[in-house]
């Protein structure tokens, strides 16, 4: 960010010919806003869905805890002090499938995945005219039994991600050259958070959970409230 601001502020002083264009102040301002919304709302909403699932699926939570415990070894003092690093959380295969399944069932910025058609084309018999804006129907894709079966796509089942799927079947981070730039960062952030949480606590359902869950669309699709207990 500092680097971008420097380019912007000292626009007139830039004499490097390889820089054919500098960012304007408004471009820096609007991109900073996008990063704030895209980076915080999305990850925190995803983690809210994760805790909802953890509370509802104790057997899934147990498997995650087992995987985490494997990393932290035999509970010796030395093992407990182990720092979590990039490689360690990336070795947690069930954790990866768990987060993927949460985002399949609860995609977050669904209205964000849209594209403008540059050349007239037709898809499955539907004509798409040049200039029209097309929004991906992420829910239909994520719940399509042909793409996500044979296990019922309405059920939470992380193991379905062991199987290779159609490259366009999974769209929580969008697709193509304009997909989410924060994808890898977000995955690491969520894995580290969940590991720390589940290393110390068990997420337990509480009476208010379903009543207050109601998914709402603000900038992203997020639950209104997630009421859980931590043991």
Contact range with ligand HEM by CB under 6 A, out of 35-43, 127-135, 157-165, 197-205: 35-43
Task: Spell out the residues 6+ positions from residue 205 whose beta carbon is closer than 8 angstroms to its own.
Answer: 55, 56, 228, 229
Pull the structure tokens for residue 2.
């500092």
Contact range with ligand HEM by CB under 6 A, out of 1-9, 147-155, 172-180, 195-203: 172-180
Distances (CA, A) of 134 to 24, 55, 149, 220: 29, 36, 26, 18
Contact between 181 and ligand HEM per CB under 6 A: yes
Distances (CA, A) of 2 to 5, 16, 38, 139: 5, 18, 19, 38
Nearer to ligand HEM by C-beta: 86 or 185? 185
> Which one among 172, 191, 195, 209 touches ligand HEM, defined by CB under 6 A?
172
Cβ(14)–Cβ(7) below 8 Å: yes
> Which one among 105, 186, 198, 221 touches ligand HEM, defined by CB under 6 A?
186
In SS3 terms, 115-148 reads as: EECCCCEEECCEEECCCCEEECCHHHHHCCHHHH
Q: Where on the phi/psi map is residue 59: left (φ > 0), alpha (ψ -120 to 50), or beta?
A: alpha
Contact between 192 and ligand HEM per CB under 6 A: no
Contact between 148 and ligand HEM per CB under 6 A: no
> Least distance in Å: CB of 35 to ligand HEM?
5
Nearer to ligand HEM by C-beta: 69 or 189? 189
Nearer to ligand HEM by C-beta: 188 or 204? 188
Residues belonging to the binding site for heme are 180
Residue numbers at the binding site for ligand HEM (CB under 6 A): 34-35, 38-39, 42-43, 46, 103, 108-109, 112-113, 172-175, 178-182, 185-186
């Amino acid at each position: 960010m500092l680097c971008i601001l420097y380019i912007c502020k000292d626009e007139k002083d830039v004499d490097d010919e390889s820089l054919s264009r500098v960012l304007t102040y408004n471009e820096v301002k609007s991109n900073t806003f996008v990063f704030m919304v895209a980076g915080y709302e999305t990850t925190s909403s995803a983690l809210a869905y994760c805790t909802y699932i953890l509370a509802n699926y104790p057997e899934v939570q147990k498997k995650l805890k087992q995987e985490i415990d494997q990393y932290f070894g035999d509970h010796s003092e030395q093992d407990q002090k182990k720092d979590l690093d990039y490689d360690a959380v990336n070795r947690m295969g069930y954790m990866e499938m768990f987060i993927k399944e949460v985002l399949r069932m609860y995609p977050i910025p669904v209205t964000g995945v849209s594209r403008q058609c540059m050349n007239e084309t037709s898809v499955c018999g539907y004509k798409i005219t040049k200039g029209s804006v097309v929004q991906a129907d992420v829910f239909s894709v994520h719940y399509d039994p042909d793409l996500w079966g044979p296990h019922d796509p309405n059920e939470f089942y992380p193991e379905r991600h062991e199987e290779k799927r159609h490259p366009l079947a999974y769209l929580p981070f969008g697709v193509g050259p304009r997909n989410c730039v924060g994808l890898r960062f977000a995955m690491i952030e969520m894995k580290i958070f969940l590991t720390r949480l589940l290393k110390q606590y068990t997420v337990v359902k509480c009476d208010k959970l379903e009543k207050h869950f109601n998914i709402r669309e603000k900038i992203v699709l997020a639950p209104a409230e997630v009421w859980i207990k931590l043991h």
